[in-house]
Amino acid sequence: MIIKNLIYCALITLIAFCTPALADYNIVGDANNDGIITTADSLLALQMSVGSIVLDPEIADVNADGKVNSPDALMMLMMAQKAQVRVDAPEVVSGPFNAMIDIYNVADLDSGQFDLTFDVSVVNVTGVDSGTIDGTEVPIDMWRFIDRDTIRVIFNLPDTTGVSGSGSLTTISFEIVGVVDNTSVLSISDGLLVDIESNEISSLWFDDEITVGILATVNAPEVVTGTFDATIDIADVTNLDSGQFDLSFDASVVNVTGSIKNIMKQSFKDEENALV
């Protein structure tokens, strides 16, 4: 039995705690926070407008009039018909990481481009790789720095009759140059999608944000036959005072019986000894 595959939430930070796998950077109009705008969001806005669910103007007030009502729902419905491109990066990073440039609901895509801007005191781009939309590769025609904090990416599908569906335009690799608690918005701009008839595809483009944190991992035996201990290991922490995390597991296979406090103390003690 592979216990490591059952105990997850491997990235735990002391500045941003584990959350469900939803969008981590608010998209106005994405009422259910799943990273895209669909008809489901429009329905939620209607429910908010009549008071059947709790209002969330920050995410559902699309026309910024201070209310959530039927015009917002209508705008969401119109937005859902467009191709949507968003930066999808980990919420918290502690080492080199990738940001996907995801695309949703595109039709007959032939080529395009975009700029991506970031805080150079926090992160830096080290590479850009091809994406894939419904099994079709999206080749990178060219990418380059157009400023210290901005890259331009151009992609092209020369040997296809256009690709439709959802997937990713590119994968962008980053290194961290900042320190814990630093944040950087990964801002996508000047986006252009072109179809096989050389027409611009109507589209929406959404940013994301990362925070530099501390990596913590669950350390458990790979195979167990009885009771066992799992430690929560961290590295390179300084001036730690307090924190929290959630640990999930398959209750039909394992259960927590010991003191989490004692396990944590032992883990921190081991880390302290390792640094001495």
pLDDT, one tens digit per residue, over 209-219 is 999 998 677 88
End-to-end Cα separation, the chain, in angstroms: 35
pTM of the model: 0.73
Give the model confidence (pLDDT) of 71-91 as tens digits.
999 999 999 999 999 999 999
**Neighbour-count burial of 71, counting CB atoms closer than 10 A to its CB (0-12 exposed, 13-18 middle, 19+ buried):** middle
Residues 79, 203: Cα–Cα separation, whole Å: 9
Angstrom distance (rounded) from CA 201 to CA 194: 6
pLDDT in tens, 121-147: 999 999 999 999 999 999 999 999 999
Let me know the angle formed at the C-alpha of 34 by 166 and 120, rounded to the nearest 5 degrees.
85
Which tens digit of pLDDT belongs to each residue from 145-197?
999 999 999 999 977 788 999 999 999 999 999 999 999 999 999 999 999 99
- How far CA 257 is from CA of 136, 187, 233, 251, 263, in Å, comes to 49, 45, 19, 12, 11
Structural domains of the chain, with CATH: 3-16+216-275 (no CATH), 22-81 (1.10.1330.10), 83-212 (2.60.40.680)
